[in-house]
Chain A
Amino acid sequence: MNLAKRNISMNQLNPHTWVDRYADYLFNYAIARISDEEVAKDLVQETFLAGLKSAKNYKGTAAERTWLIAILKRKVIDYYRKINSKKGKAEIRVNYKPGIDSDGDWLEEQVADPGSILENDFIENEELGLAIQECISKLPKKQSAVFTMKTIRGLQTEDICNELGINPSNLWVMVHRARTALMGCLNDIWFK
C-alpha cells in the first residue's frame, strides 16, 4: 500500500492485522452501547470497511486503534439515528412503573439515586474492559490468542493445545508472559 509508505515516521495503518488486533476491542465498545450482539458485530465490520475506504484521510497523528474507535463512535450514532427515523421521530419515554399505585410523586421516584453506585460501576467496568482489551491488543499475536482463549472464552487447556498445536508447558509459558505483560500494562490504579 502506498499509503503506508507515506507515513514512515508516523503511525501506520495495517488493515491486514485489524481483525486480530482490534475486533474484540471494538466489539466490546459497541456491545456496551448497543446490546444487540448481531448489530454490534455488523458495526465492527462496517467500521473496518469504512476505515479502509477513508484510509487516505488517515494522517497518522492518532494511533490506529483511536482512529478506528472514532469511526465506530460515528457508526453507533448513525445507528441510533436510523432506528429513530424509522419510528418517525426521536422519542423520549417516561414510563410509569406498571402495577404500582404511584399517584402524586411518581416523577420524584424516578430521579436517579445519588447514593447508587450502579451507574458508576457500569462506567468503570466498561473503562476497565477497554483498558484490558487495549493491553491485550498490544501482546504478540500468539500470546493474545492463548490468553483470550483461556481467560475470556474459558476454554480447557487441552482444547487450546489441540487447536494451536502446542503442548501444555508451552501454553503456560505463554500465559505467564501474557499475564506478566498485562500486569505491567494495566495502569496501577486498577491494582490498588
Chain B
Amino acid sequence: MINCEEAQIICHKTQYKDASFWETLKLRFHLLVCKACASFSKKNTRLTTLCETASIRSLSDKDKVRMKGTLEDKI
C-alpha cells in the first residue's frame, strides 16, 4: 500500500507519462480506495488538459539571458 503523499507524486508522474507500470498499478489501486486522491487526480488531469489547450509558449533560456543582459545594462 502507498500513502496519499506517494500517490500524489505518482499522479504527477502519470501526467507526464513518467510513471512506471508498477507505479501506475499502485496508483490505480490507491485511487479506488481513496476519494480525496481520486478527486485530486481528476483535477490534476484537468490541469494537464488546460495547459495543453492553452498552447502556452515559452522563450528559450538563450533569449531570456540575452534580454536580461540588455536590461541589466540599462538599470
The residues of A with any CB-CB pair to B shorter than 8 Å are 15-16, 18-20, 23-24, 27-28, 31, 41, 44-45, 48-49, 52, 125, 128-129, 132-133, 148, 150-153, 157, 172-173, 175-176, 179, 182-183, 186, 190-191
Contact = CB atoms under 8 A, between A and B. Distances in A.
Contacts of B32: none
A19 B68 contact: yes
Describe A's contact surface by its main secondary structure. Answer: helix
Given A125-B53, A128-B50, A148-B58, A19 B71 contact: yes
A172 B50 contact: no
Given A48-B71, A176-B8, A191-B43, A41 B63 contact: yes
Describe B's contact surface by its main secondary structure. Answer: helix
Contacts of B75: 15-16, 52
7 contacts: A27-B57, A52-B75, A128-B54, A129-B54, A129-B55, A152-B56, A152-B57
A105 B64 CA distance: 51
Given A152-B57, A191-B46, 9 more contacts: A19-B68, A24-B56, A31-B57, A41-B63, A45-B67, A151-B16, A153-B58, A179-B15, A191-B43
A137 to B, nearest CB: 12
Interface in B36-75: 43-44, 46-48, 50-51, 53-59, 63-64, 67-68, 70-72, 74-75
